[in-house]
Each structure stands twice: as structure tokens, then as C-alpha cells.
Amino acid sequence: MRPLFLISNDDGILAPGIRCLIEVLRPLGDLLVMAPETERSGMSTAFTLKEPLSCKLVSKEEGLVQYSSNGTPVDCIKLALNLLTDERKPDLIIAGINHGFNGSIAIHYSGTMGAVLEGCMAGFASIGFSIDDHKAEANFEPALPHIRNIVQAVLDKGLPYGVCLNVNIPNHGQIKGTKICRQGKGRWVEEFIPCSHPNNAKRYWLTGKFLNLEEEAEDNDLSAMRQGYISVVPSNIDVTNHSLISQLQAWNL
Amino acid sequence: MRPLFLISNDDGILAPGIRCLIEVLRPLGDLLVMAPETERSGMSTAFTLKEPLSCKLVSKEEGLVQYSSNGTPVDCIKLALNLLTDERKPDLIIAGINHGFNGSIAIHYSGTMGAVLEGCMAGFASIGFSIDDHKAEANFEPALPHIRNIVQAVLDKGLPYGVCLNVNIPNHGQIKGTKICRQGKGRWVEEFIPCSHPNNAKRYWLTGKFLNLEEEAEDNDLSAMRQGYISVVPSNIDVTNHSLISQLQAWNL
């Protein structure tokens, strides 16, 4: 039997990135797409409690069934696993291709990686793909053979419970290969742009730039990206800092 | 000089949990409160790009200045660090007391822990406090001496860059003490409750129950809670699974 892939993203079901992902995966298996009906970038692992969620059939053909929802990427995964996969559970949960880099600490903010973490917490092998290019016309082409390879390898070999893959694709014409590496250290430097508001209450648009805190490092996802490699970071659901436990125990709280 | 605490939460600035946190911290330092104007539970590390953010002075007195925002808990921390702390940076960022348990994988969904992770990513020692009781009238009293101890210890000793504390308080009349421990393994089992919608498009309310996947374990935050102890989990921003890197390198992707 062909494998079943559950596909989502945070740029919305019409984004070129998810359209491209669907095309590249179709030869490898059957696809169930469940993605936000509009863009939900920056939604992290947020879910929706205060309004009812939609679950709308968008299209259905042999090997490709597509749904959209008003929910977050996490809601989409929860809806799909609970309402759409009773007869057949996915072999793999895949999100992307995200328009924008999701390496370093962006894993904590990304809705695309939120869907991946959700799939992982539910016990499924899960992968997120992102490209370091926010434009709708990003060139996914050079990455496609690598995406197929990574998906096939995870299908064949699986992933341990509680670990997902965060895959980031450089915005280069030629990709040099794939590097398995660690998450780089960085942070955002925000800039709030003031804007007017009818009753004199100032409002602010959140903008920001990413700051690499390890410019010299050669072994993380930021350096892989800079060198023209696809980065693959195995990422944990368990965020415990185990080495700090004994230090904190000595505090005698 | 007295230390400055930046305080936030996800239950909203009027929630009893943050009111209680403010009272317990006032003797220890000056407080800058910046919290969502309404409840933003389950918002994780989400931030707001599509609408302008408010930053509204709520009250100002000696040692206690309070602001609220229409943004997420992460937005609140970003706003405070960028617009409200030019003259004096916080010594500690503290979120809570959250109405509801945020141990195990709830760290990934919680808006309160989102604020803590944001503080940590910005380079500040950050702590989240949550109580295992969703009710507005939760009894915080038995936990207060422990909260003071933990805050004072972090003030005195600091935390390494990239590690924050996730503190969960059991809903017990008597608290036995504090356990430094690891994050327990669990997951949510969802139930979607169908509801009607005017134009015949079914909608669903997301509900769910937490499932402890390590009932027998004695060394995690779930067991500490069950035994009547406050759990303190040192939690990482770097989610890399370092031990898997070499295994994945052998895949020759």
C-alpha cells in the first residue's frame, strides 16, 4: 500500500510552497492536505479554544484529498488526526514548504513548525520544510530532489518518538548538499513602527531583524544556510535541560 | 537599587493569578506589568504581524507600573522590552500565576510559557509559574512562600543563557516542597464537539484531556505534581536532539 502523508503549513492552503510540496510528494504516496484557509504565520504551537473550527473539503481526487480550516496549523493537524484519518493513519506528517527561514529560534515562532511539533507530540514521524525566501515566487526547484530524499529516508528509517526534523533550504541557485546540524543561537531585534489610531491611542506594528549570535560557528543551521547547504536539525519535544537539574538541586529550594 | 521584575501572563491582566503574583513580588522589587488585556490562553510563542499592537498605561504608582496590550503574551514581552524599559532593563521576567498546569508538553502550548520563552530568548532570566487549577478562585496561598524563594534564588544566582524555569504548583492544601525535575511525557487526546453554523457548514469546538504517558515514572513534573510537590523544570531554547545528529549523518542524505 502507498504511504499516506498528512500535509499542512502556515502560509495557507493556496501558498506556492504547499502547492510545490504537494507536487513533489505525489509520486511517493497518497496525500491528505489540511491547511489554514488563510495565512497564519507566526502562530507557533497556538491552538483555538474560543471559536469553533471549520473543516472544509476543498477538493478530492485519486491520491489527493484537500481540506482547509479557519484554525491554526496546530488545529489543522488535530482536526485531521481526529476527524479525517479514522480509517487510515498517516505514515508521515509534513509541513511547508514555508516561505521564510525557520531555523535557529524561529522554530519557536513558526506556525509551520507548530504543525510539525503537533504531529510529533501525537506520535507521528514529522518533518518541516522551509526556504530562506519570503517571496511568493521563491525558487523551490533546486531543493526538490533533496526533499524527496529526506522524505523517503524518514519513511524507510522512521524517527524516534518525540523527535521531529526541522529542514531549512538556502535561497541559492545551486544547493551543495545536506548538513545534519544543531540549532544556531540567535535572537530577533524588534522595531516597533508607530501608527495612528482614531481615538488618539497609539498603535505599533511589530517588525524585526534576525541577529545571528554565533557568526563564527560552523556547525549549526545558520552556517549551513550561509554555505549553501540544506540544514536538518533533529528537534526535541522534551526541552528539559538535563545537565542543569543537579545544579538547581544544590540550590535547596 | 531594588530589582525590576517584568510581569506578564496569558490569562489577562485582570486574572487572579497575576494579581496574586504582583502582591507576592511587591516586597522583593519594583514591578513593570505588561499583560494581555483579555485572555490569550493556548497562544504558545505566537506573535502578531497582521494588526497594530496597543500599549496602554493602566495604572502607575510607586514601585508598580501596569500596562496592557491587545497582543499575545510574546507581543507583551517584546513591547515592554522595546518601548517601556529604555532606562532600566528588568532583572527578571516572570509570568503567571497561570490558571492551569503547564508542565509536560503544555510548555509548547501555553501563552504564559510563551512569555517566559520570549524573555529567555531575549537574554533575560525568566520564570513561569502555573497552578494545577483552572478555577478563578484557585488557592494560591500555600505556594506563595515557595514562589518568593524561587524568585529570590534566581535573582541571587541567575540562570544560564537559553534556559528558563517552568514551575508548576500542585492543587493541594499542603505543599510538600519543591522538586527539580525533567519534563514528563504526555499528550492530549482531543475531542471535537460539533456545533451548528448558519449556512450548514459544520463547526467543531476543540476540547481534550491530557494523557500521562509515563504513569510509573517518579522523576518528572507529572509525578512531582501528583505527590504534592512544586515541580521546577529547567527548560531549553535550544531544542536540538544532539545524540541523534550522528545517527542521521549515517543516513547520507
Cβ contact B77:B113 at 8 Å: no
B63 confidence band (pLDDT: 50, 70, 90) = very high
Residue A242: its chain B contacts at CB < 8 A?
Answer: 182
Residue B220 lies in a domain: yes
Please tell me the predicted confidence (pLDDT) of residue A197.
Answer: 82
pLDDT at A200: 72
pLDDT reading at B203 higher than 80:
yes
Mean pLDDT over B82-98 rounds to 96
Determine, for residues B109 and A45 on separate chains, whether the beta-carbon distance falls below 8 Å: yes
From B52, B188, B202, residue closest to A205, measured CB to CB: B52
Q: Are A179 and A56 in contact (CB under 8 A)?
A: no
Residue B208, in any domain of the structure: no
Query: What's the pTM value of the predicted model, to 2 decimals?
Result: 0.97
A63 touches chain B (CB under 8 A): no
Q: What is the mean pLDDT of chain A?
A: 96
| pLDDT score, position B200 | 72
pLDDT tens per residue across span A34-54: 999 999 999 999 999 999 999
For residue A173, what pLDDT is reported?
75
Confidence of residue B70 (pLDDT cuts 50, 70, 90): very high
Is ipTM over 0.85?
yes
Residue B182 backbone class (left: φ over 0; alpha: ψ -120 to 50; beta: rest):
beta
CA angle A89, A96, B44 (to 5 degrees): 85
Question: What's the pLDDT tens digit per position in A76-114?
Answer: 999 999 999 988 999 999 999 999 999 999 999 999 999
Instruction: Give how many domains chain B has, as a whole number.
Output: 1
Residue B250 within a domain: no
Categorise residue A130: left if φ over 0, alpha if ψ from -120 to 50, beta otherwise.
beta
Domain presence at residue B192: no
Q: Write out the residue range of the structural domain in which residue B96 sits.
A: 4-183+216-239
Residue B45 scores a pLDDT above 90: yes
Q: How far is the alpha carbon of B30 from chain A, nearest alpha carbon, in Å?
A: 23
Q: Which of 42-61 (B) contact A at CB < 8 A?
A: 42-49, 52-56
- Residue range B7-43, pLDDT digits in tens: 999 999 999 999 999 999 999 999 999 999 999 999 9
Of B49, B181, B206, the CB nearest to A75: B206
pLDDT-derived band of residue B132, with 50, 70 and 90 as boundaries? very high
- Please tell me the predicted confidence (pLDDT) of residue A171: 93
pLDDT tens for each residue of A194-216: 998 887 778 999 999 999 999 99
Q: How far apart are alpha carbons B44 and A87 in whole angstroms?
A: 31
Residue of B67, B149, B181, B204 best to disrupt the A interface, most CBs of A under 10 A: B204
Q: Which of residues 137-176 of B touch A (CB under 8 A)?
A: 146, 149-150, 153, 157, 160, 162-163
Count of beta carbons in the 10 Å neighbourhood of residue A232 = 25
B166 has which bridge partners? Answer: B128, B233
Interval B163-175: pLDDT, tens: 999 999 999 878 9
Count of positions (residues) in chain B: 253
The count of CB pairs under 8 A between chains A and B is 207
Is-contact B30 B22, C-beta < 8 A?
Answer: no
Q: Quick check: is B91 in a domain? A: yes
The answer on pLDDT for B185 being more than 90 is yes
Q: Which residue from B117, B150, B253 is facing A149, i.e. has the nearest CB? A: B253
Question: Does residue B171 belong to any structural domain of this protein?
Answer: yes
Kindly report the CATH number assigned to the domain that includes residue B68: 3.40.1210.10
Has residue B200 been placed in a domain?
no
pLDDT surpassing 80 at residue B201: no
Residue A221 falls inside a structural domain:
yes
Query: So what's the pLDDT on residue A86?
Result: 87
pLDDT reported for residue A172: 80
User: Which tens digit of pLDDT belongs to each residue from A136-165?
Assistant: 999 999 999 999 999 999 999 999 999 999
Contact between chains at A204 and B55 (C-beta distance less than 8 A): yes
